[in-house]
Amino acid sequence: MKHPLTDSRWNAILTNDRTKDGTFYYGVTTTKIFCQPSCHSKAPKKTNVVIFKTPDEALEANFRPCKRCQPTGQKLTNELWVEQIKQYLTNNFQQHLTLDTIASDCHGSVSNLQRTFKRITQQSPTKYLAMIRLKHSQELLNTTDYSIKTIAIRCGFSSDTYFNTCFKKQFHQTPIAYRSLTK
């Protein structure tokens, strides 16, 4: 069931109004995380907010509880938080992502994000993001005739030069050489 994002609710989110906790919960569609109105995480874009009446409603819609405000009343385990981060990276790999952005959008600090992610996955979040981008680039090289520059941009790389460098480092050949071998 869809609930309206009223001006009153939006104001409660922006002002972290603790008196509204329990009356509604808000989810952020880009991160698939839901919070209480009093959460001190970065304010989301209004267009990315959906309203839930209960935590169960948010969970049923495949949103996960915020690590910071713990809207279900239970502490989010580090393993679940890392799953949230991985899902966020998978959904947003085409965007310009920094550690600050990832940490803020996933409701944690940069140092805790790096430490926890690496401890659980044995790799840094930036390495994980690079692997998602490179895997997607292989798919595009195999299935499209897009230019290398277009593929680089579609996969979230800052330039085709950087994309070439990353691709060659990982696969020991350039994207053009890879494409010629697979087509």
Active-site residue, 66 included: no
- Give the Å distances, CA to CA, from 113 to 56, 101, 124, 130, 183: 26, 11, 9, 16, 39
Instruction: Check the CA dihedral 115-108-120-165 and report its sign.
Output: negative
- Going through the chain in order, the beta strands assigned E by DSSP cover 25-28, 33-35, 49-52, 64-65
Does residue 174 contact residue 148 with C-beta atoms inside 8 Å? no
HSE-up (13 A, CA, CB side) for residue 149? 0
Catalytic residue among 35, 66, 69, 166: 35
Whats the size of the chain, residue-wise? 183
Cite the active site residues. 35
